[in-house]
Amino acid sequence: MTSASEIGPISQQYSAAATVPLIKSPSLWLPKPVELPNDIHPLPEDITAYFVYPFTLETHVLSLQPSPHEAIAQRRARNAQILHQREVEEEQRDQSGDETDGSQTRSTPSSRTGLQPLRAPRPQISVNGCYFPIRYGGTRRPHRGIDNERGHGGAVGRFQRRGHTDADADPGAEPGVGPDGRPGNPAGGDGESAVRARGGLERVPVHARCGGVTHATPKLGRVGPDGGQQRRFEDHSRRCDVLEHIAENTSDAHHLDRRSRTPRFTRACMLLLRSQPQHDRLWGDTTGTPRTDQPRTEISDASLSFLSLLTSLPTTYRSMATSSHPLAALLTQGLEAWDDLVSRLSALTLGQIWCAVNYHPFPRPVNLAIFAIVLVAHIPRLTRWWASRRESRRVVRFRWPVPKEVTEGWTGRPLDEPGVFAHEKDDTLLPPEAGRTGSPTRKHLTCYDPATGFHLTTLPLLTAEEVSEQILRAHNAQPKWAKTTWAQRQSFLRSLKAWVLDDMEGIVRVACRDTGKTKVDAVFGEILTTLSKIDWLLKYGEKTLSPEKRPTTMLLAHKVSKVHYQPLGTTLALVSWNYSFHNLLSPLLASLFAGNSCVIKCSEQVAWSSAWFFGGVRKCLEACGHDPEVVQLVICLPEVAETVTRNPLVRHITFIGSEPVGRKVAAAAADIMVPTCIELGGKDPAFLLPSADIDFFASTFLRGAFQSAGQNCIGIELFLVPRSLYPRFLSLITPRVSALRTGLDVGSLISHTPIPRLESILDEAVSQGARILAGGKQYHHPGFPQGAYFEPTLIVDVTMDMEVARTELFAPVMTVVPYDDVDEAVGWLKAGRFGLGGGVYGANKRECESVAERLECGMVAINDFGVFYLNQAMPFGGVKASGHGRFGGPEGLRSLCHVKAITEDRLFSLIRTPIPGAVDFPLPPDSTSWGFLRGLVRLAYDPRWWYKLLGLGEVLQNASG
């Protein structure tokens, strides 16, 4: 630190140096140029202020120090030499009788020859030894209510003058230099010679630049009778002015708490404001040792505002102590102790506090040694963290070739009657090894493309005994998998994610070939959702399943309570066919990340694609060095699946499918007492409010209704449109639905089975008054006549008593129901059987939220469609006939774990819980037990503090028994 004696007299230019030793986030230091007012010149010498913000306990030591630039000292020495030489010359002229007006001499150009401006190359602010630029002066703005005349310098400011004009200024003054070489008004004149006025007080605006905004604050300046403007601030006042500006600027520049940016709070928190002699008495020498040869300096009265608050707190209790209150004696003793504490605090100095905690703003050998010891102690932990981080980010590349059926130009054998049992009518569809797959009565499954009718393959079905063997293999592989670290599981997920990204086109082609959907629908429903699932598990899976600390009560203050999430064992997932890739991977990945093994029973409709997807997962496990037996794929018929759900090795069942099958799964799970997550069908509505912008949301409505040909769990099947928007809605939607191209814009159904039922329901609705404006029947594709297509359909004028409005169609049908009253329409939906998802559309946020809250369903999207599932941090599931339980989000991941509560001593083996004698067996014969327990209850739960004291007394009195 450079002292004042090394630089020169007080008339030098100073720069602000701020040392902030206790700031929580040094990385946020982004100092802006700090501008200090030129009005406060000369700056006080060697002053220091200590700011303590009581809520954050942050300490800021702000100090003004001489500028470290040697150029200033050299210029000052040169100017002093020139001025001394001129004084000698004036004395000689006086002795020779040459009388000259001193003021004219000072104003002649020759009197300034050779003087150099005392201006640092670039003023700087020091933050822990790092220098950043600051500025003095700046653009001046006249303070409101003060009549300022035009002054002599934009950088210095406009000074108010009495009875003088600009002609009083020194026309020959060198810009930026005062009569003694001190920096003054750059545009001519300085702070002392620019104004010649009578004595008295004048208001001079003082400006500071805080956060890019120039503020003006009136300060008092004194105009001396000697003809020069002498702004003789009191030392204390000048220190306050400078330090307030520094504090405000540095607080704003360092992004501190907003409370510390207000000047009022800054002044309230200024605990110490001392000149250098007082600083020495308080702090001692530069090593921080207090000096004992000086009397103790207490904190100033203005700095004790927070202590006065402490003194005023017990005012209410003082009145109680002087009254006839039963606890008056106890209150009196407490207040005496309080007053003694306040008196001791008011007598403390900040230097004593710092010395007591051995604090020093600069590094000491002891501090460095402590830091080194702590660092060395954490080296093993840091090493483990780094190794785990590297392992978790490891990506293992592997190759899983796509089947030939998805290559360009492939053409398969068309089936005359496509179906999963087509081989029973045409035995040529059976594989050549059918006789070697076991018993001659073994059943098979025909896999085909529903969009073209092409035969893909015929797979043998597993028997109940073979399925049980698969579950046993998964069960045996689970303990080893449960011992894997989070980093190993994350590495597996990253490797699988890399495979999805690298082979995305092949995955999409396989999904389209087995389900008949378009590529666009496959990317939306298969790729985006799966990658979202993987990313959520990577970012939040470990945090979700890590032990979670829970709060305790006062009686258990010496305990620590945590919730641990442990693997269940082997989980079973029975998934639907509409999204063959995502529905297979979603429960499998969640189960594996939780430490479980997983058995997947896929739908017989998509057995071909599921087998290929599952092979990729097993290949990834093998490439990462894990046992692929931890996952198993079951391909069987529903009658065998019922025996799978009753297997005693299964610890959790997830089901995605139809309501009738879901009821059977729930009944089977109840027999073996395992938890279930069941997601069934739905009749998701799009609730259009009168304020809805249907022109904007028209495309959203089409995507919600015809995504994957309407075979979407959360697809929009019911549109509730107000009468006021009904004509516009029909005129906007009808031509767009009619323009949809079957086979290009909308894919096929999963099979021909649902087509007769759809035509029957639509015909019944038309007979009851509904109108079909587009579609409504099976579509015969000219290129693929065996394809299972249904025309995109728009049916309007539907009422809620029709079957088409109450039954899940799972088809490309857009059902429109007009309504007159919002409350009535909400009642219709609440009376329905389903409650999976829904959407609310409108321009009024409060109205949309109100309707969303009243809908009885598991998920709602406001002014959007289905985004609640794309966000895998959200739980997915329904209510009523749409199922129960949740998968996705923390709720779904934790449902795959045992939840275990563990409580232990906070200071292990040091503080333990003894059984008090009052309640120890055998119980005391008197009422000691009752008195002890009554006091314990009062102490812990009674809201009245005096009863808590009485309870404490009873506990202490009866504790020994």
Cα gap 861→683, rounded to integer Å = 15
Q: What DSSP character marks residue 34?
A: E
| Paired sense of beta strands 130-136 and 124-127, if any | antiparallel
Kindly state the tokens that stand for 407: 């290559």
3-state secondary structure 266-290: HHHCEEEEECHHHHHHHHCCCCCCC
* Residues across the chain: 961
Closest CA to 282 of 58, 9, 47: 47
Q: What Å distances lie between residue 46 and 7, 17, 42, 134, 223, CA to CA?
A: 12, 11, 12, 19, 26
Closest CA to 49 of 33, 63, 28: 63
The verdict on whether omega for the bond into residue 42 sits within 30 degrees of 0, i.e. cis, is yes
Cα gap 603→607, rounded to integer Å = 6
Kindly state the tokens that stand for 498: 């890399």
Q: What DSSP character marks residue 538?
A: I
Encoded amino acid at 220, one letter: L
The verdict on whether omega for the bond into residue 922 sits within 30 degrees of 0, i.e. cis, is yes
The SS3 of residue 216 is strand
Q: What DSSP character marks residue 888?
A: S
**C-beta separation of 814 from 795 below 8 A:** yes
Q: What DSSP character marks residue 531?
A: H
Cα gap 45→37, rounded to integer Å = 16
Which residue(s) pair with 202 in the sheet?
221
Q: Other CB atoms closer than 10 Å to residue 859's CB: what's the count?
A: 25
**C-beta separation of 49 from 269 below 8 A:** no
Cα gap 812→706, rounded to integer Å = 5
Q: What Å distances lie between residue 246 and 17, 255, 305, 829, CA to CA?
A: 9, 14, 22, 64
| Dihedral sign computed on CA atoms, order 835, 841, 845, 847 | negative
Cα gap 403→510, rounded to integer Å = 8
First vs last C-alpha separation in the chain: 67
Closest CA to 805 of 770, 777, 780, 759: 770
Cα gap 484→481, rounded to integer Å = 5
Active-site option among 174, 526, 629, 679: 679
* Residue pointed to by tokens 């099976």: 778
Sequence-distant (≥ 6) Cβ neighbours of residue 698 within 8 angstroms: 732, 733, 736
Cα gap 801→711, rounded to integer Å = 23
Closest CA to 599 of 638, 640, 652: 652
- Give the number of C-alpha atoms closer than 13 A to the C-alpha of residue 414, restricted to the C-beta side: 9
Q: What Å distances lie between residue 388 and 5, 180, 397, CA to CA?
A: 57, 68, 19
Closest CA to 219 of 203, 241, 195: 203
Kindly state the tokens that stand for 400: 């899983």
Q: H or E stretch including 445?
A: strand 444-448
Encoded amino acid at 239, one letter: R
149 catalytic residue (yes or no): no
Cα gap 430→424, rounded to integer Å = 9
**C-beta separation of 208 from 248 below 8 A:** yes
Cα gap 174→435, rounded to integer Å = 112
- Which residues carry out catalysis? 679
